[in-house]
Structure formats: structure tokens, C-alpha cells
Amino acid sequence: MSRLQVFFLFLVLVSAVAVVTVRHENRLAFVALQNQEKRHDDLQAEWGRLMIERATWTRQHNVADDARKRLDMSAPAPDRIVTLKLELDRSTNR
């Protein structure tokens, strides 16, 4: 074999190893991308749940504020709270 053929064979082998290496790195990068996209989707879902929870708490807070301000309502004093014990009606099984 001539030196030129050995040189070209060496270049072909180096090129083949480079192709394999680049493809492997590409696969690893693709797996990392998929993991990050899944994390993004999970975070988006959590964000949506938190926004719903926030809206729920805000709505409950607004109801209490409206009751106090617009309707002039307030919580009764502890001495004005009456607790009733219900008796079961045995004849109707209630």
C-alpha cells in the first residue's frame, strides 16, 4: 500500500469515528430535549393548577369582603352562636 492510500484509509476511519460520535451526541441531546419538554409540560400543568387555586382563594376572599363591605355583614360574637343537636326521627329512619 502506498502512503497516500494509508493516509486516505486513516481519513476514512477518522471520519467514520467522527460520524458515530456525532450521532451518539445527537441522540443524547435529543433525549435531554425530551426530558426538558416533559419537565416543561409538568411545570405548565402545575402552573395551571396553582392559577385555579389562586382564583378559588381570591373568589372566597372577595365573597367575605363583599359580605362585610356591601352587605354590612360580620361574623357573630361567640356568645351569639347557638349549636343545635338534631334528634333522629326513628319512625322514618332519618
> Which pLDDT score, from 0 to 100, does residue 56 have?
84
| Domain assignment of residue 38, yes or no | yes
Main-chain phi, psi angles of 75, to 5 degrees: -70, 140
Q: Report how far residue 36's alpha carbon sits from residue 26's, in angstroms, rounded to the nearest whole number.
A: 15
Q: How many structural domains are present in the chain?
A: 1
| Domain assignment of residue 72, yes or no | yes
CA 35, distance to chain mean position in Å, is: 14
| Domain assignment of residue 24, yes or no | yes
> Which pLDDT score, from 0 to 100, does residue 12 have?
97
| Domain assignment of residue 91, yes or no | no
Summarize pLDDT for 31-87 with one digit per residue, the tens: 999 999 999 999 999 999 999 998 887 777 788 788 888 888 888 899 999 998 888
> Which pLDDT score, from 0 to 100, does residue 71 have?
86
> Which pLDDT score, from 0 to 100, does residue 93 have?
60
> Which pLDDT score, from 0 to 100, does residue 11 have?
97
| Domain assignment of residue 21, yes or no | yes
Q: Report how far residue 15's alpha carbon sits from residue 34's, in angstroms, rounded to the nearest whole number.
A: 28
